[in-house]
Amino acid sequence: MTETITQTALSNGMKVLLKEIHTAPLVSSWVWYRVGSRDEVNGRTGISHWVEHMQFKGTHQFPASVRDKAISREGGMWNAFTYLDWTTYFETMPADKIDMGLRLEADRMVNSLFDEDEVASERTVIISEREGNENEPHFLLGEAVQGAAFRVHAYHHEVIGDMADLHSMTRDDLYTHYKTFYTPNNAVMAVAGDFETKEMLARIKELYEPISVGGEPARLARQEPEQKGEIRLSVEGPGETTYVQVCYRFPNASDPDFFPLAVLDSLLAGPSNLNFFGGGISNKTSRLYRALVDKELAVSVYGGAQATVDPFMYNISMTIHPQRKPDEALSALDDQIKRIQDEIVSEDEITRAMKQARAIFAYGSENITNQGFWMGYAEMFADYNWFLTYLDKLSAVTPAEVQRVAQQYLGARSRVVGTYIPTGGEA
């Protein structure tokens, strides 16, 4: 994949990536901040997500009700996301209206109000969101597995945070977090679409270079120690369905093993979509689907790999067939993993898995919003060259490499196995 983009850094340290795409009169503008749940300590879990919510509460220049209606009136859309390693905001608008998005983001980088009443109101909203999550078996099981997989590293907690912290955090806690991490030198701006680079860069400099450089945020450096044996846990909750989640250690996105593991993921469970906007593709040809769903051990099975700054985890989730036991499905899973560990996978099967992994990546990279997404997203854990070379690196994966990473990463000794046991009633 070869593409021409302009990359530069403003005098205050903000990195800017620009990509002209003249296929439609649209522009998608993204501002990414290097802050997420990875930067949170006990007592402040969920603070990055809460600050993201507060960014929609307005500034003096752009009160919340005014800008929301203005963007909709101009035919645009906007949103934001907080995750493990980052928080991002975007506007996709008609090309001749994108200046509103540029001005809005420059303003709320420094001028968000954090009104006490709005903080209190949003506390109620986020606590309600957390309570809703606690009614979902997948959330309850996933939180337990993630907490067991990370005892030391800040990936231990969910992005939404722990309920105790959502009750106790103050307006000053939120504002301090905002002022610490929402600085131009901790940000990346990515703009894709129908514009002229010279004019766009001049406008970005005009709006963003006056913003003062912030201090270098302190980063947590708590490496997760090696796990000394398999961890098994169970979670009980309402419902009639049993779920099993198996978590294996997975390297960070800049590790060379990420790419053979992406092919292994596609082979085993169907390819994971790294793009938060993209859809999935059928995994019915995957080994686990054929071994578990076709043989009625499970109703569904899927895998999940993610691109992260630090090593995270690879999850395989199974919805157990009503007439089967969790151990039956787990045994079938283990059999399939052992097959890959013991036998070199055929070139044809690797080619098919690779083709599917390439397809889902391509589908999630097509439109202008996705292009803007990838420009900034790749910068959060590597750089844009990671995106440009992704398909080439997938194509270079060999069957022997797939076998090696299966042996190295999919061992029972370092995994967590969680089972959701239904107690009846409504889930």
User: pLDDT of 325-342, one tens digit each?
Assistant: 999 999 999 999 999 999
For residue 1, what pLDDT band results from cuts at 50, 70 and 90? very low
- In the chain, domain spans: 6-208, 231-422
Exposure class string for 23-37: b at 16+ Cβ within 10 A, else e: eeebbbbbbbbbbbb
Fold of 231-422: Cytochrome Bc1 Complex; Chain A, domain 1 (3.30.830)
User: pLDDT of 221-232, one tens digit each?
Assistant: 889 999 999 999
- Report whether pLDDT(167) > 90: yes
For residue 279, what pLDDT band results from cuts at 50, 70 and 90? low
- Report whether pLDDT(164) > 90: yes
- Whether pTM exceeds 0.85: yes
State which amino acid sits at residue 259.
F
Instruction: Give the class (CATH, top level) of 6-208.
Output: alpha beta
Average of per-residue pLDDT values in the chain: 94
Distance CA 375, CA 141 (A): 33
Per DSSP, the three-state class of 187 is: strand
pLDDT of residue 366: 77
Check: CB of residue 32 under 8 Å from CB of residue 379: yes
pLDDT of residue 137: 96
User: pLDDT of 20-55, one tens digit each?
Assistant: 999 999 999 999 999 999 999 999 999 999 999 999
User: pLDDT of 47-92, one tens digit each?
Assistant: 999 999 999 999 999 998 888 888 989 999 999 999 999 999 999 9
DSSP secondary structure, 30-99, as one string: EEEES-SGGG--TT-TTHHHHHHHHTTSB-SSSBHHHHHHHHHHTT-EEEEEE-SS-EEEEEEEEGGGHH
- Report whether pLDDT(147) > 60: yes
Per-residue CA distances from 316 to 60, 219, 393, 416 (Å): 47, 30, 24, 11
Q: Does this chain's domain 6-208 share its CATH topology with 231-422? A: yes
Distance CA 176, CA 400 (A): 50
